[in-house]
Amino acid sequence: MLRKAASLSKYGVAAIQLREKQMPAGELLRLALDIRKKVNRKVTKIIVNDRIDIAMLAGLSGVHSVTDGISADYIRKFCRGMISGKSVHSLKEALHAEKAGYDYVLYGPVFRTPAKVKYGKPQGLRKLNEVCSRIEIPVIAVGGINPARAKKCIDAGAHGVAAIRDLFNTSNIKAKLSEYKIALGEL
């Protein structure tokens, strides 16, 4: 994990999200501190899921709230200067997240992905475009992202994409990110 995070940062990834839902607090804090040491924080933000305590103690860039997670009010209150994001799966949820004061939304799954099959059909590019055109805060597309699909998401109005499986299952981060740079023009 540490080598992947360092490589992602080295090659220009804008943010890394720590999504370790089952990891004990002490272990997650050590991981966050270790990742913070390994990444170039001028290039790469480090955001943790629903753990204000970890974000504060490790001096991270922000807190990401899952579907029933921490409110933007609490993140702003306790994590001054940090960014806040929210996972959303519909236009209604995206509008609510914007109104609640989150800085960005993570929308998806846009495409089929093995991790989300049990939740139903993917949202698709048309719904992604609808969300992007109706809210002012950045929309980050997630779910089944690869370089070709990333370009389609940007064309649909997304501010950016979150690639999880595609980046963490590759043995050559540099080559994989080069594919994304070719498709997107930048990271």
List, for residues 35-86, the tens digit of each pLDDT value.
999 999 899 999 999 999 999 999 999 999 998 899 999 999 999 899 999 9
pLDDT exceeds cutoff 90 at 179:
yes
Instruction: Pull the structure tokens for residue 173.
Output: 């981060």
Contact criterion met (CB below 8 Å) for 28 and 57: no
CATH code at 89-187: 3.20.20.70
- Please state the rounded mean pLDDT for residues 168-173: 91
Euclidean distance between CA atoms 184 and 151, whole angstroms: 6
Q: Is the pLDDT of residue 119 over 80?
A: no
List residues bridging with 83 in a β-sheet: 62
CB atoms within 10 A of CB 66: 14
